[in-house]
Amino acid sequence: MTFKIKTLALALGTLLAAGPALAQANWPTKPLTMVVGFAAGGATDAVARIIAKHLGDELKQNVVVDNKAGAGGNIATDFVARAEPDGHTLLLGSVGSLTVAPHMNAKLPYKPLQDFAPVTMAVVFSNVLVVKADLPVKTLADYVKLAKAQPGKLTYASPGIGGAGHLAGELLKIKADIDLTHVAYKGGGPAMLGLLGGEVDSFMSTPPTAGPHIKSGKIRALATTGAKRDPLMPDVPTVAEQGYPGFDTLNWYAYVVPAKTPKAVVDRLNQVLVRILKDPDVVKELEMKGLSPSPGTPAELAAYMKREYDTWGQVVKKAGIKPE
């Protein structure tokens, strides 16, 4: 009897030990949720929906895009940090919630460098400073001159506090020594509606959000924020070109999952996403929106996030940015 009990216990232990490995091998076992921290209509949402379709096709599972807007992406980021670490919930996160938020909010409920397993960078791109059509400015120099003449009166929108657009605006304030009033929205889509509706004077937007309205003449582009001109807007000079050498701020979106997600699942997810982001049709679709696919390894994303964390921490401190 004792021998049988020991044998049964050993078999049960082996089965239990094999459980996680078996689950990993069979991943995914249900639909995936791709969480986005901003409302529909912005650049993050556009990227998510392009990738979600291809990811679903690759994995033979439905991939649902879940927009959890608010707090500059922090609500969505916290949601994924607390999600089951089984590879079925992933975050398309941004610079704001993944590297800036901890410097602005001591009570942030998650720690981005500890609570997530990096999967891969998705895309990088510059922001573009756009103004409403009736604002009497044609160049960045005009914009700065107007801001100096009316300290604090000129407003600029961003998709959220602590995001790339907000940080680019604050860096411009420092470099140009001007006083602008920041207005945060719950995503690029709502911010653009605010600009088109005259609620704000300007907007640190993204190429996908701003492009159609620039072409229609409803808004005017003054400058892009990268070191080089944006391929989607080759006629728009950079901030650096217009008197502020060294000005270089890039927006980026990256995929992360909860920290305790099995490495085998993270690696599998990385392989599939990298393959999608290198697909010629996907590359073309993203580049048409002014987005540069930049897939890489989990280790490369981890190192990049740490560098951004350190860099923007210094900017947040110097600019005195506080949560609103």
Instruction: Establish whether the linkage from the previous residue to 28 is cis, with ω within 30° of 0.
Output: yes
- pLDDT 10s digits, 134-161: 999 999 999 999 999 999 999 999 998 8
- Give the CA count within 13 Å in the CB-facing half-sphere of 139: 7
Question: How far apart (Å, rounded) are the C-alpha atoms in residues 56 and 274?
Answer: 14
- pLDDT 10s digits, 165-223: 998 999 999 999 999 999 999 889 999 999 999 999 999 998 888 999 999 999 999 99
Query: Of 320 and 273, which is predicted with more confidence?
Result: 273
Parallel/antiparallel/unpaired status of strands 181-184 and 155-158: parallel
- For residue 185 the two structure tokens come to 């929205």
Question: How far apart (Å, rounded) are the C-alpha atoms in residues 51 and 54?
Answer: 5
DSSP SS3 for 64: strand
Which distant-in-sequence residues (6+ apart) come within 8 Å of 25 by Cβ?
A: 264
- pLDDT 10s digits, 251-293: 899 999 999 999 999 999 999 999 999 999 999 999 888 889 9
